[in-house]
Structure 1
Amino acid sequence: MYNSFFGWYLKCQSDTQTLAVIPAVHNKGNKRTCSIQVITDNDAWTVMFSADLFRRTRRNIFIGENQFGEKGIHLAIQTSQLTIRGKLDFGPLCPLKYDIMGPFALVPFMECRHSVRSMRHSVRGNVCINGQKYSFRNAWGYWEGDQGRSFPKEYIWTQCCFQGGALMLSVADIPMAGIHFTGIIGAILWLGKEYRIATYLGARVVRIQNKMVRIIQGNLELDVRLLEASERPLKAPAKGDMVRTIHESASCRAFYRLRKEGCILFAFETDKASFEFEYFS
């Protein structure tokens, strides 16, 4: 068994509450474990499970009584620190037109491969976490995945659903064939149109400073800025082992602006952004 991991990230967000759940399986040498991480506006938990409780099909992940997939999420967790019960139903998913990795999806031995299963879908249901009720009505969801050996050493990731659209962006240090380069993958839905921003389409970072990233690709220019973090610790893979600690703001203040040919398509500040800023240069 080689060092590897596979996991999904499912985020559900209403006007007042955010819940993200990460089911995953990880292999380190002959050791195989699985986990469910839960992150809210105010807290984060990691629950480890025996590997024999993990089961994956094309459309679902099962960990014990917990189920995750295109129809929704069912949670049933009981530990000394965490009690979760609830069910969330998803509406029709909104997949991208093609793989977010583009031609890099065909490159073998990549450290980490990203996938986007739904940019935006409706969420309805209730979850109770340690006695606190999370109620989702007219709420939005987002669903992505990662697999490989390790998370990038340095990276920026952000995601946001907003009026008229949704976006995700990842900027990361990518090791390949003995060299390193800055890799960019991003997708923006805006008024029914999909915009793709990626290294394989000519995107390049022109500025990373003060929690702000500016990317230019042809006549498109995207600005992303983390304004106020609300970080909670999460576990991330390093050579298949969940020993690295990263920090995610599941719901925080951020600014986004997209320009095309110098004209602003949208520019807004929100307190519903999700952000991981693990970039130190």
Structure 2
Amino acid sequence: MRRPLLITGPPGVGKSTLAYLIARELGLGRVLEWNIVSRTTLRDGLYVHDAMGRAQAIAAWQAGLREAGFTAPFDAQAVDGGPLEDVNTALSTGDRQLPPFLGDFITLGPLGTALLPYDRPRVLLVDELDKSDIDLPNDLLHVLENGSYDVPELVRDAADTARVHTSDPGGHALVRGGRVEAREFPVVVITSNGEREFPAAFRRRCLPLEMRTPSREQLLAMVERHLEGRPQGTEDLVDLFVQRVQAGGTHSLDQLLNAVQMTTAGGFQADGDGRKLVEMLLRDLAKGR
């Protein structure tokens, strides 16, 4: 359907984990994670151009040519993929060196990497989109609907193909004509803590999913799955967790898992130091301390 999955719910309920579960169950490889803050722009997710690093590399390249004895004026076209025959002819074989390539200074962001032409779709996690500025949601949907984008620096470059870095560790990709176009639409998981409302046009283009706090039975099942059993005292901690959530507290599931693991396997008693530890682990996240 080429529509992102918009997941809303309280913090710590497992919204981000769903993206990793999808990738694991479907065998789609490493999740591309894009963490959103108030300063995040669409370009941050598409690509980054290290213009300063490229300028320094060009200066170092030119200095190397001078040391090799080439003193002719430097042409900017030679740096951007233009004719280099004169330079290479003037230098001896041992002194020849290529100019810095533009693609070496461009890194595709998580969104940009997800839109590369893969045989199988990648999973893209856009985490906490509700922290973004007002324009980013609609800008994001425009790119996702097209399934493609241009890198202006590569479009203007004389070379037809550029080898750029990607968001995958040590990853590279070939970009032709400065344009990236998806072959398979990525699985896009967008999370929101509900800090603000999204525009109606954005919500209309997403598949909504609301994740609520699990029930007591589901919490017990989660503890058993993570700890491979139900240690003594687990039910009391789960009941305490449920009571605090129902009273309006803000708690996350990892707090419960940590509390069960530490107090049941660490030799702490239900009172004394054990009680203090439980209070620390199950503190209300909304109160800040």
Q: Which has a greater percent of helix?
A: 2
TM-score by length of 1: 0.25
TM-score by length of 2: 0.25
Flag the structure with more relative contact order, 1 or 2, with Cα contacts below 8 A and sequence separation at least 6: 2
Q: Which has a greater percent of strand?
A: 1
